[in-house]
A and B are shown apart, each in its own frame.
Chain A
Amino acid sequence: MSNLSEVKTQQNVGIAQAQSSNLQITQTKSVNLKDTTQSHSEAKQEEGNVISDILQEHLLDHHSYNFFNVFHIDLPVILYDKQLYLYPSMKSMMAEGTFTEIHHQIVRKDTQQPPKLDMSITALVMFQWLSILLLLFAFITSAKKYKKQPKTAPKGLQNMLEVLVLYIRDEIVRPNISSKRLADVLSPYFVALFFFILVMNLFGLIPGGHSATGNLAVTAGLSIIAYFVINGSAIFHVGFSHWLKELTGGAPWGIWIIMIPIEILSMFTKPFALTIRLFANMTAGHVIIFSLLGLIFMLHTFAIVPISIGFSLFIYTLELLVAFIQAYVFTILTAVFVGLTTAEHSLEH
């Protein structure tokens, strides 16, 4: 990582600002380097770092939000280390002096150890809240319409939401979960899951937006909830003893010693696969777009511009599709797993 940016963050300037100014500096530098016929490899190395920095800025979580240097929001820092520390921003945390930031990581000044828990409102938390607000706005306005004219055909936003909600209920939840009662209880969870993931995915495609689902912690959080939903519904629906029996896979007792570890492992690999799938799909698209655009800066030629732009547009469109598909896949796989663990006849074969 460039030393320049480190120095600048310690000077309490926003990270992103530092990086973008860094980019400008390097660009001018590389022009100079060309003129002075110095080795290109060094310049290329630095450009690679700059692109990597921008990628990090886009993909990773931060304690502030920067919109193309047009405006900059400092987000509150909440730390827990034997006691609760609340700071309105990174700057005030550094000014207070208990904690400091080294290598993009908050550490205690005295022990150089990170705090026990960093519950800061980061950019991705902010984007989650934004998606929640957007979704609630959409749902509440359409709910009002339902109350105002309950028997007319839906129109516009209301119609779109209704189509998606009914699709989730009738095509994802009900066919996969055999018990109708359980399906009706769980359908709000699946609707919430689908819309939450979808809107977070789509936020990453808006210029200046971050997709929260491109972070392992976010997808892991969703998967942990999915894990509890899968096993909780199994325990509540078929009973705890039956759920324990499921762990034997319905096999004769002789091979329980193999089956039980496998079943326990698969209990955890299911949500783990969900986590990785969503994270990797959302991250991969962003990385590809940035890499394609980075080619322009790496190769120093305008000839590559149409190729880069064309391909990144293509990937962008693909990402739009992937945003929907991954929300759908996460939802339907959770529904399938719930259906598998709650199926009445699963012990019969």
Chain B
Amino acid sequence: MEKLLSVDPGLLIWTMINFLIFLFLLLKFGFKPMMNALKAREDGIQNSIKSAEAATENAQKLLQEAQNKLNEASKEVLTIIQKGREQSNAIINEAKEEAEKLRQEKMENAVKEITLAQEAAFKQIKYEIAGLVVDATEKIINEKLEKEKDYELINKYIENLSKN
């Protein structure tokens, strides 16, 4: 059992040789490819994160743009509607005014016509009344055209008529 605690120099040297060989081979065939692959993977992940971020940003931008366009369009629509409403209001007003004017004109015309007709009628009536009066006067004169008072009355009346 004493050998358990003795150090065999040959085995010690072999251990060191073996370990150094192992270190060299591991470094060359195992560690470096692994680290390179890990680096590549890390870079790849980094890149994909970056590209994803860029894509998100892009999408955000596009969304913003679309939103802006939508807003503009709705604004435009609003203005168009507004304009239309204004226009229609204007048209309505115009039409109203025109109609009013027309009405006014028509009314005026009517009034004119009426006055004309009235005048004509009055003339006619005056004429007729005068005729009638003449007739009546003739009859009255024939019977009792003596009283001065009657003449006076008749004249007054006729005057009043002509005034109207």
Q: Residues of A with Cβ closer than 8 Å to B?
A: 52, 55-56, 59-61, 78, 104, 117-122, 124-125, 128-129, 132, 135-136, 139-140, 142-143, 146-147, 150-151, 161-162, 165-166, 188-189, 191-193, 195-196, 212, 215-218, 220-222, 224-225, 283
Measured between C-beta atoms, what is the minimum distance from A268 to chain B in Å? 15
- Cβ contacts under 8 Å, B6 to chain A: 216
Other than the known A136-B22, A143-B29, A143-B37, what 15 A-B pairs have Cβ atoms closer than 8 Å? A52-B1, A56-B4, A117-B10, A117-B13, A119-B13, A139-B34, A146-B37, A150-B41, A192-B19, A192-B23, A192-B26, A192-B31, A217-B8, A218-B11, A218-B15
Is B29 a contact of A128 with CB atoms below 8 Å?
A: no
Bound Cα distance from A29 to B62, whole angstroms: 95
Measured between C-beta atoms, what is the minimum distance from B8 to chain A in Å? 5
Bound Cα distance from A125 to B8, whole angstroms: 12
**Interface residues of chain B: helix, strand, loop or mixed (majority):** helix
Is B22 a contact of A192 with CB atoms below 8 Å?
A: yes
Bound Cα distance from A311 to B18, whole angstroms: 35
When C-beta atoms are compared, the residue in chain A nearest to B39 turns out to be A150
Measured between C-beta atoms, what is the minimum distance from A155 to chain B in Å? 14
Bound Cα distance from A150 to B38, whole angstroms: 8
Is A224 a contact of B16 with CB atoms below 8 Å?
A: yes
Q: Could you write out 22 A-B pairs with CB less than 8 Å apart?
A: A52-B1, A56-B1, A104-B3, A117-B13, A118-B9, A122-B10, A125-B14, A132-B18, A136-B25, A140-B29, A147-B33, A161-B34, A188-B23, A192-B22, A192-B27, A193-B19, A195-B26, A215-B8, A217-B15, A221-B11, A221-B14, A222-B19
Is B29 a contact of A117 with CB atoms below 8 Å?
A: no
Is A216 a contact of B20 with CB atoms below 8 Å?
A: no
